[in-house]
Chain A
């Protein structure tokens, strides 16, 4: 176990390093520079600014300096969007909003999706199963922005006298509901589909037959015996789903004008705010990588049948 964990952690660090370097090189390959705005500054001003923020050195040297600072926990300062404010400060002030929405979305997706999947498996072949399958297939076919804008239109002012929720994010609990609902819809449908499949797999196993032979009620077999084993594959889908929720977060934050990290990341790319792009990318990438790592380790913990020494595909 220890060896496996060590190997995975090393792999995660390596991936993060690659992402960091890749982002740095890509970012510097974007034509244009951060100083361009409505008024084009003179060449002397650009040179002075470049020198101040260390952009006059070769890219490789810049990368080396950046990595060195990073090791000391220094993400640099924003050079355009919020001039001279430390990037880490921006991230820590914006991430809580994104994280709250993401966590609520994932939670409701699990709490609703898994029971719905069980229900579909329990009632398989009936109209309940068919209805759930139709809803879930439609759910995984609608891009996040479609779900978000439909909700926005229906419940936040599109229809007269039907404005239940605020159109623009203001920080009250009401303004969290629509973004969370929109963000959790895809994972909910996806998890419910996966739970149904996993459930049907485990229902066909021998120990279920034993339970049935013992005379247990069907409901008890499905929701107690089969569910426990069916949850194992569902855990593996959680890792990618967390990443997906984050990427859906970009869209939902744009639609609902939420001052979150995802929207800020997109804006920082458009504004060529180099340290901010680097900071947010590294932070978000580290977050996704750590989440995936945790989910993988959790997977091994709950299923002792899996061979740890062989990597685990």
Chain B
């Protein structure tokens, strides 16, 4: 623009005003009222784009963030809707389903495997349970029932014959020799029998653990715990950090100095040590409180679980510091702006200025920081649960599932890898979406 003007009048920086002065000489007839269509198109052209719409438009073009968002939504559906679709409870011990793999062999295949092994080992290789089942079936065919003593005898026999070193041909060898391939999803032999009778049985997609609990349901519940912890902690951090930071930034002076010293001290406290201690301390305290009566507060504790509350408190005490610093920095910058001076000149009180003028203007940063707090809280919760200081049995979380699976890692690696994968993917996608959110809400920060 400036260059254009300079070429018009050589050697002068003054704009050329001759054209504009000409406008004074326009005749009356040069003006005419706008038609309705023109008015409408005028409104159309100037249609305002709100901050959120603008951000959403930018976010939609960020492919990585959108994919991450879809995955997060899928995991959320898995965690919150899933438990209602699966007919098993997270603490329900299904009989005969102990240590079930997430694959199964059909009844015919199992019979072939057993026959093969019997043939090669000359000894029946039934597990105690199977031996009892077989004996029961035989007894039923004869029209008798087995007494408990007889059952125990058969069980003991099967156990001793199993362990007596005649394992020349193992089950794995038999499977390889017969060329049998496993079918997906786990079913206990009881459930396979029921399916053969025409009943429909919901499969154990991820198998079952040592106590016969369905791993998929437990993973769902664990993911739900993680998500609830993440969101609640982020909200706690947001509320405390926003209040503290905006007061400190807005008041300034001595108040700010004192408040910032407190922040600095909390900042230097090694939070991991304290959070471990808090986890160990608060949990039994809340458990005691929970059992002390039947008031509404006690019921709230029961609903949330004492351990989750302990984690929330730890977060509320220690993790708001970063948030308060960010908000304080923003407020310090914003309060120099003219509109704040104008509001003050009009007699607005401090609280109103913070609420109406300052906070809305740093909402982008607040939303981003809050959102990125979610994966960090999930991270911390899984760490605590892994060390055995998080949620307590029979409730579960992804971290404690990983910790439980550690002892059987060689035989049942999927028990560890399924919750670990869901946890990692969840944190990864939340991080990626948070990054996208930051780029969309505050395009100046984009690198």
Contacts and interface: CB of A to CB of B under 8 A. Distances in A.
Question: Mostly helix, strand, loop or mixed at chain A's interface?
Answer: helix
Contacts of B309: none
A145 B383 contact: yes
A113 B260 CA distance: 33
A145 B417 CA distance: 11
Nearest to A293: B268
Interface stretch (B97-105, B199-207, B422-430): B422-430
Interface stretch (A27-35, A58-66, A297-305): A27-35
B281 A266 contact: no
Interface size class of A (residues with CB under 8 A): 35 or more
B186 interface: no
Given A141-B424, A143-B423, A270-B388, A23 B277 contact: yes
Given A19-B270, A143-B382, A146-B424, 10 more contacts: A11-B265, A18-B265, A141-B427, A145-B383, A145-B399, A149-B409, A246-B270, A246-B272, A255-B406, A289-B270
Contact of B416 (A23, A149, A157): A149
A122 B272 CA distance: 36
12 contacts: A19-B273, A137-B428, A143-B383, A143-B386, A144-B383, A145-B402, A150-B420, A265-B276, A266-B387, A281-B277, A285-B269, A285-B273
A30 B402 contact: no
B111 interface: no
Given A149-B406, A247-B383, A27 B424 contact: no
Interface string A23-57: 10011011110000000000000000000000000
A269 B280 contact: yes
Interface of B: 260, 264-265, 268-270, 272-274, 276-278, 280-281, 284-285, 288, 325, 329, 375, 379, 382-383, 386-389, 399, 402-403, 406, 409-410, 413, 416-417, 420, 423-424, 427-428, 431-432, 447
A171 interface: no
Contacts of B399: 143, 145
Contacts of A12: 268
B372 to A, nearest CB: 12
Contacts of A150: 417, 420
Nearest 3 interchain pairs by C-beta: A141-B428, A247-B272, A288-B270
B409 A152 contact: yes
Nearest to B420: A146
Contacts of A289: 268, 270
Contact of B447 (A19, A158, A200, A266): A200
A248 B428 CA distance: 18
A112 interface: no
B427 A30 contact: no
A292 to B, nearest CB: 6
Contacts of A251: 383, 386-387
Interface string A263-289: 001100110000001000100110011
Contacts of A288: 270
A236 interface: no
Contact of B270 (A11, A14, A243, A255): A243
A104 interface: no
Interface string A127-160: 0000000000110111111100110110001100
A174 interface: no
A291 to B, nearest CB: 10
A176 interface: no
A307 interface: no
A110 B276 CA distance: 28
A270 B382 CA distance: 18
Contact of A158 (B280, B375, B402, B410): B410
Nearest to A18: B265
Contacts of A26: 274, 277-278, 281
B428 A138 contact: yes
Nearest to A144: B383
A18 B270 CA distance: 11
B424 to A, nearest CB: 5
A13 B350 CA distance: 36
Interface in A163-178: none
B62 to A, nearest CB: 14
Given A27-B281, A146-B424, A157 B410 contact: yes
Nearest to B264: A11
